[in-house]
Chain A
């Protein structure tokens, strides 16, 4: 089976001369379809940089990055935008929904740039919102939704273009523990359906829901272990009863 993400000796250097910062010093990683990878590390460890490179938001200074069988390490801004649009989905700590814009229109956004016709766009957006349990909140605006609901809209937006990989940057950072649990259950559902999720977090509780844990320190992946994920859905059930 071909790996979805394959990083080979990825380096990232910021600045020049005395102020040079080596954010990544040769990260190597390979993930497969349906893997749930948590990335942990102290702040300044390079985990955000790693996530940015995996998310094609930033170009590595050196090394090779193959995403879905395509070498993306040397692409320019235009081409990277297309890769992000087609192969990647993003979930951010602060949701990053467009204000004054309905849930369904927010979810349509990636398809607008993909050139999907309006009618199909609407159908797929409604379907994606249904998948995250917001089928009855289509026309609500972000300020009419709770934090958890906003993050669900963001997840619907991330999955609507059927990407290979979802990159989630502290997705539960702004949510209470119960809502966090629900969001993690949603991620586990997506993983079970064959999607690859890369989750950056500094909370061990949250990382425990992933099937693989990476530790990053000083720009290097110092540990890479498989683990048995905690089933979030079961915990939600327990809380409900």
Chain B
């Protein structure tokens, strides 16, 4: 008996009880669809998080000043300025694993152009900032070290701000904006970056040299940095080494006793990204597990119906044995039937799962990540379900004694 013959016999047997076969396959369809959809959605969520962290830069440390402690009342992070401009210079120049370091002074302010006004974030920093954020100008240029040291009142606009102040297609380069009534000349507009990891608009920002920021916006020069530092390492592998070296350097510079707490906080973006990724991973596994349970239930349905089928067709089995079917013929007949059932369910399930994943991803604005591997996995899964849950009924059938089977009523 050829494989093709066996398959044809199986299809024919399944066609006899169409509704029953469809309902049984439906269990597998739902299970496989759930697994495929959950895995595709999980992959999509992971890619979404990856993308937002890539936009932020993952090869990055942020150093914030520590908390104040006045008579036992501890303020929150950043409640006391502990980082100095000299600390920044020391980090930039003495630590070999650090590629770029920049201060980030930040405040919200109303910004005016000749046509419009708009409240946005003003960031005071140095050119290293653009390297750290991996951010280029879409038109015009970025400001330079020269601008910083001379205290030039120049500004680089985020794409959203440029649009708000100057309209869609206008080129603001060379124009003047006013921040707190101080005129700044626009030297460039940044390439759009989209959303931050927290859902804020990266492009809703105006970036100016820290010198001009300190004198014109913050008001008053101060040896302390009233903001945080951003640092990148020479490569991703050096990040944790850089973190350790900066910690050591800052403790030494701040003359902290060995048992004293750090008066600053270093956050490792790669670690945060990894943690977020791991969280999504866990969620994906959780969802896939739940989906796998429904696949298991589908498999039990297959087994149930195969057991019914074996009982119903006991006489047929007896007859087949009488005319020469060997036990393995009967075994493969019922096994192929179960596998056919679950494989049809598997293919339908993949189709439905992919459609569902696209629908969900479309709703949430996530990238759709569908690995062909998931489809192969789902087919393999459904075949395994067929074999796993079909084996027992098929074995039961093949072990029948021809006489008992023929006499079965």
List A residues at the B interface (Cβ < 8 Å). 52, 55, 57-58, 77-78, 81-82, 84-86, 90, 92, 96, 98, 100, 109-110, 112-115, 157, 161
User: Interface-forming stretch among B114-122, B232-240, B242-250, B323-331?
Assistant: B323-331
Q: Does B321 interact with chain A (Cβ within 8 Å)?
A: yes
Q: Tell me whether B323 and A57 are in contact (CB under 8 A).
A: no
A78 B327 Cβ-Cβ under 8 A: yes
CB neighbours (8 Å) of A109 from chain B are 320, 323
On whether the beta carbons of B323 and A82 are closer than 8 Å, the reply is no
Asked whether B349 is an interface residue with its Cβ less than 8 Å from the other chain, the reply is: no
Check if A90 sits within 8 Å of B323, measured CB to CB.
yes
Q: How far is the CA of A109 from the CA of B320 in the complex (A)?
A: 8
Instruction: Say whether A84 contacts B406, CB under 8 Å.
Output: no
Q: Does B92 contact A (CB under 8 A)?
A: no
Known: A52-B403, A113-B1. A78 touches B324 (CB 8 A): no
List of A residues within 8 angstroms of B402 by Cβ: 57
Q: B316 at interface (Cβ–Cβ under 8 A)?
A: yes
Q: Are B329's CB and A113's CB within 8 A? A: yes
**Are A81 and B406 interface neighbours, CB within 8 A?**
no
When C-beta atoms are compared, the residue in chain B nearest to A85 turns out to be B324
* Interface contacts beyond A82-B326, A98-B316, A109-B323: sample of 15 additional A-B pairs, CB < 8 Å, sorted by A: A57-B402, A81-B321, A81-B324, A84-B321, A84-B322, A84-B323, A85-B324, A86-B324, A96-B315, A96-B322, A100-B16, A112-B5, A113-B1, A113-B325, A161-B324
Quick check: A110 and B319 within 8 Å, CB to CB?
A: no
A81-B326, A113-B1 known; A92+B321 contact, CB < 8 A: no
Residue-wise, chain B 15-26 has the 8 Å CB interface mask toward A (1 for contact) of 010000000000
17 contacts between A and B (CB under 8 A): A57-B402, A58-B401, A77-B326, A78-B326, A81-B321, A82-B326, A84-B322, A84-B324, A96-B315, A96-B319, A96-B406, A98-B316, A98-B319, A100-B16, A113-B320, A113-B323, A115-B1
Bound-state CA distance A112–B332 (Å) is 14
CA A100 to CA B30, docked complex, whole Å: 31
B1 CB, nearest partner CB in chain A, Å: 6
Q: Is A90 a contact of B327 with CB atoms below 8 Å?
A: no
Shortest beta-carbon distance, B44 to chain A, in Å? 47
Task: Report Cα–Cα, A161/B322, bound state, in Å.
Answer: 13
CA distance A92 to B16 in the complex (A): 24
Interfacial chain B residues near A90, Cβ < 8 Å: 322-323
Closest to A110 in B: B323
In the bound complex, what is the Cα–Cα distance between A190 and B286 (angstroms)?
Answer: 69
Q: Which residues of A contact B329 (CB under 8 A)?
A: 113
Interface bin, chain B: 20 to 34
* A202, B308: Cα distance in complex, Å: 35
A105, closest chain B residue (CB): B12
Given the complex, which residues of A lie within 8 Å of B327, measured CB to CB? 77-78, 81
B318-354 CB mask vs A (1 if < 8 Å, else 0) is 1111111111110000000000000000000000000
Minimum CB distance partner of B326 in chain A: A81
Contacts of B324 in A (CB 8 A): 81-82, 84-86, 110, 113-114, 161
Contact A112/B322 with A81-B327, A96-B315 known, Cβ cut-off 8 Å? no
Q: How far is the CA of A92 from the CA of B316 in the complex (A)?
A: 13
Q: Closest residue to A118 on the B side, CB-wise?
A: B5
Shortest CB distance A115–B (Å) = 7
- Measured between beta carbons, the chain B residues less than 8 angstroms from A55 are 322
Which residues on B sit within 8 Å (CB–CB) of A161?
Answer: 324
**Interface residues as binary, B188-202 with A (CB distance below 8 Å gives 1, 0 otherwise):** 000000000000000
Cβ-defined contact, B406 with A58, below 8 A:
no
Closest-CB distance, A24 to chain B (whole angstroms): 14
Within 8 A of A (CB), among B52-102: none
Shortest Cβ distance from residue A72 to the other chain B in the assembled complex, whole angstroms? 14
Closest chain A CB from B321 CB (angstroms): 6
Q: Which residues of A contact B16 (CB under 8 A)?
A: 100
Please give the distance in Å from B403's CB to the nearest CB on chain A.
5
Residues of B within 8 A of A157 (CB): 323
Chain A nearest CB, measured from B400 CB (Å): 10
Closest approach, in angstroms, between the C-beta of B316 and any C-beta of chain A? 6
CA distance A81 to B320 in the complex (A): 10
Per the bound structure, the CA–CA distance linking A81 and B328 in Å amounts to 11
Q: Which of chain B's residues have a CB closer than 8 A to the CB of A86?
A: 324
Task: Write the B288-330 contact mask toward A (1 if CB under 8 angstroms, else 0).
Answer: 0000000000000000000000000001101111111111110
B326 contacts across to A, CB distance below 8 A = 77-78, 81-82, 113
Q: Which 5 A-B pairs have the closest CB atoms?
A: A85-B324, A113-B324, A110-B323, A81-B326, A96-B319
Residues of chain A within 8 A of B406, CB atoms compared? 57, 92, 96
- By a CB distance below 8 angstroms, the chain A residues around B315 are 96
**Cβ-closest chain A residue relative to B315:** A96
CB of B323 within 8 A of CB of A85, answer: yes
A128 to nearest B CB, angstroms? 13
In the bound complex, do residue B325 and residue A81 qualify as a contact, i.e. CB atoms below 8 Å apart? yes
- Which A residues lie within 8 Å of B401 (CB)? 58
Q: What's the least CB distance linking A64 to chain B, in Å?
A: 21
User: Bound complex: CA of A12 vs CA of B316, how far in Å?
Assistant: 26
Residues in B with CB closer than 8 Å to A84 are 321-324
Instruction: Give the residues in chain A near B325, CB-CB below 8 Å.
Output: 81, 113
Q: With the chains together, A112 CA to B325 CA distance in Å?
A: 9
Known contacts A77-B327, A100-B16, A113-B329; decide if A57 and B5 are in contact (CB<8 Å): no
A152 to B323 CA separation, bound complex (whole angstroms): 16
CA distance A77 to B319 in the complex (A): 15
Q: B1–A57 contact, CB under 8 A?
A: no
Alpha-carbon gap, A52 to B401, bound state (A): 12
**Whole-angstrom CA separation of A81 from B331 in the bound complex:** 14
Among A82, A85, A115, the most chain B Cβ lie within 10 Å of the Cβ of A85
**Chain B residue nearest in CB terms to A101:** B12
